Chain A
């Protein structure tokens, strides 16, 4: 592997990995927050019945 090529690849591995993981936890957090809101509304409706 070439010298500069190795630097680019190493750099890319770390930052794509970090950003990918940050995106992953952000998406899961958003999904759970939405589920929580929807389920909260459902519980309130059930309690009113």
Chain B
């Protein structure tokens, strides 16, 4: 550890992506204040540039892993992976939104700045090794996303979404913070590694009651963030009310970061008491899969359907968490990458198709899309098949690795029940395919506007990426496997 308080240049460099993101976001905020009545288009470009630079930075600083800032953050394979993931999610969400914001008459730099701040917060969430730092990262990310949810100021639904998200979110964060306080009371430290050491050391073993309470409180906070049952109720309302590109981002970035944080905290600090919290996560995983999949069956609004589907997918990821092994950690990483691609792609279709004021959100409105826009429909189909988990798509391997990890940890019932819920899930995704291809064209698919370049780019990247992961999963899995051991 450094003797002096000031961080060394190497340590600062390890946080280069976060620094770039914050700087770019601040430039955009200032630019927004100065732009007056001019177009906001250049600000969007700054956001794209900032995110690409941050992505590049996160790749290049990876050459020099290690701790920083008095062991409060770490750059390891795990954090590098998730950092790149949330930055890419932010990038795609920005590209998706540019035309959307103009369409809705809400084009301003704030949207971009908020995405960048949120991504920066998530970057800290995935690399923090100290509970207060993790909490600060979570707050940066959350507060930015609360605002994003209510970004369309004059829209009643968006306002409702923002309020709901904010109130329930703050409540959950309070739980988390309270848990951190209990940890400090129990172990006398908030550093994850020190907590673990304190727990493993027989001389200083803190009371089980204290640790269990702390773990429970932290679990509640994080379960809310990943929309795990029984704390999933906010997700459908928020995803439905928020602007479509913001929902896309919220369903991927914060979720991935929260899962990274969950793994980091529970696998590092609470590993010695894993027999206590694993059963709870086991129940939550099963409940999340069941609630998400069965609730999605009845949805007629596509944003709500995708919201419940994202709840269900959180359940699958939790299965990997329960398996509590390096293989499980790698499965979480792979799942989140595949999930990010397919979900962002699906929301890109929604963003494009809903049109001004998000008028067309019924699933039935998609009728005839297969005939009217064969390419869009085909790419969307690939994403839907991947969400089902059909082989040769990323979604299949994601599920496969999750359940493989689960079986290797002898979670037989969870695997069988989880796989059966995935057969249930096939129904509601298939329904979208049915409507696109097998119904008579509806009025909503007439006169579709030309597809904006940003949407088209996101859609192609998502669909081709999904296929690539489905044919050659080693692209990501090898890295995930190598990185997964580091967390322990």
Partners in one complex: no
Chain A residues within CB distance 8 Å of chain B: none
